[in-house]
With several copies, the nearest count.
Chain A
Amino acid sequence: MRLLNIKPDRTWSFALAALPFAALIGAYLIGSGMRLAENPNDKLLPSFNAMLDAFRHMALTPDPRSGNYLMWSDTLSSLSLLLTALAISTFIALVFGILIGLLPIAGTTFGPVVAVASMVPPLALLPILFIVLGLGDGAKIALIVIGTTLKLIRDMALRVKDIPSELLIKAQTLGASTWQIALRVVLPQMLPRLIDSVRLEIGPAWLFLIAAEAIAADSGLGYRIFLVRRYLAMDVIIPYVIWITLLAFLMDLGLRLLQRKAFPWFAGARTA
């Protein structure tokens, strides 16, 4: 049988999927063990016990200073920034994406500037951003928004253009105005596709959040990583990174579920 026709069954699938994870953990254990054997105080690849300790310390012991559980307050602070920013980007992208994709006038006006602007590396313009926007949560949200929104707009505009022209014609023959088409034909078809696009931007959003928190913050997951980085406290950093990855993964999963539940028509229409 050809390799491409061999479909592993459930047990095998599970075993195969677990394999690379096991390999990664194994490689870490060996590397860590070797370094620790050489220098028991090595901080770079801490043992699992050390990380567990650090995790317990950060997540399960209240901070004497504030009485907070640091990891949770960091998470809360980062997540609220991240989600606010993503909500704003999403909204902007939806509006401008539909405008650019649907209206030739808007497309010629904003298309080029969005294309060029999406190439600007936002991190290099941080100082200007911070001056214009201040340093509070506003600036951090703005950085994430700027970092993610342009690509989202382009994506949305492309997907609006992907709508078969037959549908737009059909809507017009049913007497729809431009506004009605945007509202009742384009918007609802874009929502599930927007979820796909937003899923792709979760990674960049975390990146910009961490970058923003590294500059000015007093809580947040990125802030903590940055703070303890000077001490090379990998026993804190690694659990934090795993935690961020898990959060990102859960957000992705959540969006996928949302897409499936909220837009039952989409799975069928996509494969058609």
Chain B
Amino acid sequence: QGAEKKDFKVAWSIYVGWMPWGYAADSGIVKKWADKYGITIEVKQFNDYVESINQYTAGAFDAVTLTNMDGLSIPAAGGVDTTAVIVGDFSNGNDAVILKGKDKLADIKGQTVNLVEFSVSHYLLARALESVKLAEKDVKVVNTSDADMASAYKTPDVTAVVTWKPIVSTILESPDARKVFDSSQIPGEIIDLMVANTTVLKDNPSFGKALVGIWYDTMKALASDAAAKEHMAKASGTDVAGFDEMLGTTKMFYEPKDALAFVNGAELKTTTERVSTFLFDKALLGKDAKSAGAIGVEFPDKSVFGDKANVKLRYDATFMQAAADGKL
């Protein structure tokens, strides 16, 4: 590392907020922007989200799509200095707590809750429990693979799940499924990002520019081109109606200025502190972490939450700013 390079690899996984990357790769938008900067960008689809982050953390990819929380707990905690280049959206109802046959969130007390441990679902559960003055010890958490969540719900043993779309939609088709809490009640806390390796980005700013360029071109297509939307819907294994339903609970930032407003807002700092605290409680900031601030997070205004000597996650608005200013 530390040198200029020409060939970049980007990993993305199947999730409503990241489906544009698949379309961008297939439709030639990626190539268009890569050519413009004289580089090549390989866009690789992952079905397994965690594996895509692991691969990025291990250095096999230069950029990856992930949530703010996973960015902190996996690459940043793994010592990989990571910069959020694009803030694409936040979950606004995509993630939900679902109870079988019970209408109130408080009924979750004492139940076994199936979810992907240490994922945003776990965080959502923590936030949900907080809202009804419960703690995680009031429930029993069983780690359950996201791929099998839908079928797991069909078994009598499972009475409470926390998961995300499209699994949420599938589960809600069951007549006994009740959504008792969702991410729209904690807006802006589960943020979907495109992050890149900070060193790579510093040495190759054109890579960041290309990413942003690709993204907002694709956003335009998604907003206006029915074929593009159909493509994304298909690729995520559903139809346009299903995809629209998911988009409805996703706060997409179609314009750079919307994303800028969000990333420059004060809310982001509170969220970061909350997430860091959650991760610290779960010992996910590394074994040596002494406090929730063990890993420093830098914001666009260069202010830092936590350890300034150990900044590993950075929200960088300059690329989105360039897009907003038409300077790509």
Chain B neighbourhood of A226, CB < 8 A: 47, 143, 145, 147
Number of interface residues of B (CB under 8 A): 61
Chain B neighbourhood of A131, CB < 8 A: 55, 58-60, 151, 154-155
Cβ-defined contact, B150 with A229, below 8 A: yes
Cβ-defined contact, A39 with B151, below 8 A: no
Q: A39-B79, A42-B78, A230-B118 are in contact. Are A215 and B152 (CB under 8 A)?
A: yes
| Residue B104 CB within 8 A of the other chain | no
Contact of A130 among B14, B152, B170, B235 (CB under 8 A): B152
Chain B neighbourhood of A63, CB < 8 A: 234
Interchain nearest-CB distance for A55 vs B (Å): 13
Cβ-defined contact, A216 with B148, below 8 A: yes
Interchain nearest-CB distance for B104 vs A (Å): 24
Cβ-defined contact, A214 with B48, below 8 A: yes
Chain B neighbourhood of A16, CB < 8 A: none
Contact of A218 among B58, B140, B145, B236 (CB under 8 A): B140
Cβ-defined contact, A126 with B79, below 8 A: no
Contact of A135 among B79, B155, B174 (CB under 8 A): B155
User: How far does the alpha carbon of A217 sit from the alpha carbon of B22 in the complex, in Å?
Assistant: 12
Q: A215-B144, A229-B54, A231-B284 are in contact. Are A44 and B151 (CB under 8 A)?
A: yes
- The 8 A CB mask of A220-235 against B (1 = contact, 0 = none) is 0001001111111100
Q: Which residues of B contact A (CB under 8 A)?
A: 1, 14, 22, 44-48, 50-55, 57-60, 73-74, 77-80, 114, 117-119, 140-152, 154-158, 166-167, 170, 173-175, 230-231, 234-238, 284, 287
Enumerate the 9 nearest inter-chain pairs by beta-carbon distance, A residue then B residue, closest first: A41-B79, A127-B151, A232-B150, A215-B48, A216-B144, A44-B58, A227-B237, A43-B78, A135-B157
Show 16 A/B contacts (Cβ-Cβ < 8 Å), sorted by A.
A44-B57, A126-B51, A126-B151, A127-B55, A127-B148, A131-B155, A135-B157, A216-B52, A216-B114, A217-B143, A229-B150, A229-B151, A230-B147, A230-B170, A231-B170, A232-B54
**Given A216-B142, A230-B118, A231-B77, 14 extra CB contacts under 8 A:** A44-B58, A65-B231, A65-B235, A127-B148, A127-B151, A130-B155, A134-B157, A135-B158, A215-B46, A215-B48, A227-B118, A230-B50, A231-B284, A232-B58
Q: Which residues of A contact B (CB under 8 A)?
A: 35, 38-44, 53, 57, 63-65, 126-127, 130-131, 134-136, 139, 213-218, 223, 226-233
